[in-house]
Amino acid sequence: MQQADSMTSGERRAAGSLAAVFAFRMLGLFMVLPVLATWGQGLAGATPLLIGVAIGAYGLTQACLQIPFGMLSDRIGRKPVIIGGLLLFALGGLLAAQADSIWGVIAGRVLQGAGAIAAAVMALVADLTREQHRTKAMAMIGMSIGLSFALAMVAGPLIARAGGLQAVFLVTTGLALIGILLIWKAVPTPQDVARHREAGVASGAFWPTLRNAELLRLNYGIAVLHAILMASFVAIPLALQEQAGLPREDHWWVYLVALLVSFVGMVPFIIYAERQRRMKRVVLGAILLLALVQPLLWLGMHSLLAMVLLMVLYFLGFNVLEATLPSMLSKLAPAGAKGTAMGVYSTSQFLGAALGGVLGGAVYSFWGLGGVFACCGVLALTWWMIGATMREPPYVTSFRLAVPDALMADEALLRRILAVPGVAEAVLVAEEAAAYVKADSKLVDRETLEQALQPAR
What is residue 413's predicted lDDT score, i.e. its pLDDT? 87
Alpha carbon 418 to its chain centroid, in Å, reads: 32
Strand order in the sheet with 434-439: 397-402, 434-439, 423-429
Residue 130 has phi, psi (to 5 degrees) of: -75, 160
AA identity, residue 212: N
Which residues lie below 8 Å from residue 195, measured CB to CB, with a gap of 6+? 74, 202, 431, 432
In degrees, rounded to 5, the angle at the alpha carbon of residue 442 between the alpha carbons of residues 438 and 221 is 55
What is residue 195's predicted lDDT score, i.e. its pLDDT? 67
CA distance linking residue 58 with residue 108, whole number of Å: 9
Q: What is the CATH number of domain 397-453?
A: 3.30.70.100
CATH (one of 3.40.718.10, 1.20.1250.20, 3.40.640.10, 3.50.50.60) for 9-189: 1.20.1250.20
Average pLDDT for consecutive 10-residue bins of the chain (457 residues)?
Answer: 64 89 90 95 94 95 91 88 96 96 97 91 85 78 87 95 96 95 89 70 78 94 97 96 95 96 94 91 97 96 97 96 92 87 92 97 96 97 95 88 81 87 88 87 84 72
Residue 265: burial class (beta carbons within 10 Å; 0-12, 13-18, 19+):
middle
436 has which bridge partners? Answer: 400, 427
CA distance linking residue 448 with residue 417, whole number of Å: 10
CA distance linking residue 319 with residue 312, whole number of Å: 10
Fold observed for domain 202-395? Growth Hormone; Chain: A; (1.20.1250)
Hey, how many other C-beta atoms are within 10 angstroms of the C-beta on 48?
A: 21
CA distance linking residue 149 with residue 157, whole number of Å: 13
- Sign of CA pseudo-dihedral 224, 227, 228, 229: positive
Task: Tell me if domain 9-189 and domain 397-453 are identical in fold.
Answer: no
Containing H/E element for 209? helix 203-211
CB 254 within 8 A of CB 312: no
AA identity, residue 240: L
What is residue 168's predicted lDDT score, i.e. its pLDDT? 96
Q: Strand 397-402 to strand 423-429: parallel, antiparallel, or no bridges (unpaired)?
A: unpaired
What is residue 252's predicted lDDT score, i.e. its pLDDT? 96
> Domain locations in the chain?
9-189, 202-395, 397-453
3-class secondary structure for 227-262? HHHHHHHHHHHHHHHHHCCCCHHHHHHHHHHHHHHH
